[in-house]
A and B are shown apart, each in its own frame.
Chain A
Amino acid sequence: MPELIAPLAGNVWKVLIAVGDKVEMDDEVIILEALKMETPIFCDDDGTITEIRVKEGDAVNEGDVLAVIG
């Protein structure tokens, strides 16, 4: 199952999706905050969100799985 991976370390600023949402390639799904800068994370696949592994305010490391797309 494709996973949405954090491309850089930071804090989760906004989660723009919910489980069950249909997403398409290039959709903006999560915004991370690193060094006081908002960085949007884009979807790499089409599909439906089956799992979100982070919530707003969480600290994530580069490579962490943010969400799973089914």
Chain B
Amino acid sequence: MFDIFKDLIYSSGVVSLTGGNLVMWLVAFVLLYLAIKKQYEPLLLLPIAFGILVVNLPLTFLMEPEHGLIWFFYHYGIEQDIIPPLIFLGLGAMIDFGPLIANPKTLLLGAGAQAGLYVTFFAAILFGFDLQEAGSIAIIGGADGPTTIYLTSKLAPHLLGATAVSAYAYMALVPIIQPPIMKLLTTDHERKIVMSKLRSVSKLQRICFPIVTAMTIMLVVPPAAPLISMLMLGNLFKESGVVERLTNAASNELMNIVTIFLGLSVGATMTASTFLNPKVLFIFFLGLFAFVISTAAGLLMAKFMNLFLKDKINPLIGAAGVSAVPMAARCVHKVGSEANRRNYLLMYAMGPNVAGVIGTVVAAAILLKNLG
């Protein structure tokens, strides 16, 4: 009787618990709190947090290669790069590129805001990260979750949990991080600028955009193909208007399904041994740095463009050049309406915002080509 009892204790996870596991439980609980109570990116943080929790329960072997349930999700979904492109398919089916087509010069803002990535890349190297790790950390500045996961899984898979969580955290914190930078770098007068009405975009232009963009980007930067091809296919579904069922499947059901596997797998990479490491703290710090520099670069780029433009743009929309869609555009709209409550910048900010998505993918492809 005593032996059975002893056996039960030793085969239970309790005796194998480490202090690190307990710390990771705490991390999981904090993220659960942020997801449920504060509703910060709950669709992702909730499965990520639960993934962290279950993988830090000893002897469950959920991430055991070739055996564990979540390992299979991770292996086929993330290591084999299936999920991030599928998320992009859904994003493409939801994104309206109209504001970008109507005002193509905002493409420059989406590109300008990628400056933070390159600055951070070198900063990370100075902090002692190797080239692959530095690339994975720099991409956080784009504030694009799937792209961050895609690049990190190829360059530095051991950092996946940290870079993914920090990318999603900064996306959720856009309304807190961006406004002070926006106010610092623009004058009240600039924030009050009301932009001239966007020209209307024809259906033909909307249909041609994904086709032409896909071809151009893939010809110039072929490693961007998996993400860009799916993004533009999704967008073509939407704009063609003839495959509503596919548009809905890509943007609703498929997107929701892969989001579950993505979140859970990312969370499950965060075991105590990989996550509790002084490097990880630096990743959050450098990721924030990247995001701040990208925001500032977008704003400054917009101010620079105003030197040449007769029809001034509101420099706030430059801050939307990071690819947190549509959080950054909403944030621009809000700060703009605080300066002038008849200033409705939302749609103007969507131009650089969607350009930022494309910009981040291109930046990731360039990093991948040179470091992979």
Known contacts A36-B330, A39-B346; 17 further A-B pairs (Cβ under 8 A): A7-B344, A8-B346, A9-B347, A34-B346, A34-B347, A35-B326, A35-B330, A35-B350, A36-B326, A37-B330, A37-B333, A37-B346, A39-B333, A39-B337, A40-B341, A62-B347, A63-B197
Chain B residues numbered 306-343 whose CB sits less than 8 Å from any CB in chain A? 326, 329-330, 333-334, 337, 341-342
Q: Are B342 and A42 in contact (CB under 8 A)?
A: yes
4 A-B pairs with least C-beta separation? A7-B344, A8-B344, A35-B326, A37-B330
* B198 contacts A by Cβ under 8 Å: yes
Query: 19 A–B contact pairs at CB < 8 A?
Result: A7-B342, A8-B344, A8-B346, A34-B346, A34-B347, A35-B326, A35-B329, A35-B330, A35-B346, A37-B333, A37-B334, A39-B337, A39-B344, A39-B346, A40-B341, A42-B342, A62-B198, A62-B347, A63-B197
Max chain B Cβ within 10 angstroms of own Cβ: one of A7, A35, A37, A40: A35
Q: Are A62 and B197 in contact (CB under 8 A)?
A: yes
Max chain A Cβ within 10 angstroms of own Cβ: one of B329, B341, B344, B350: B344
Q: At the interface, is chain B mostly helix, strand, loop or mixed?
A: helix
Contact with B along A35-61 (1 / 0, CB 8 A): 111011010000000000000000000
- What's the tally of chain B residues with a CB closer than 8 Å to chain A? 14
Residues of A within 8 A of B347 (CB): 8-9, 34, 62
Residues of A within 8 A of B198 (CB): 62
Q: Which B residues fall within an 8 A CB radius of A?
A: 197-198, 326, 329-330, 333-334, 337, 341-342, 344, 346-347, 350
Q: Which A residues fall within an 8 A CB radius of B?
A: 7-9, 34-37, 39-40, 42, 62-63
A25 to chain B, nearest CB (A): 11
Residues of A within 8 A of B333 (CB): 37, 39
A26 to chain B, nearest CB (A): 8
CA A66 to CA B313, docked complex, whole Å: 26
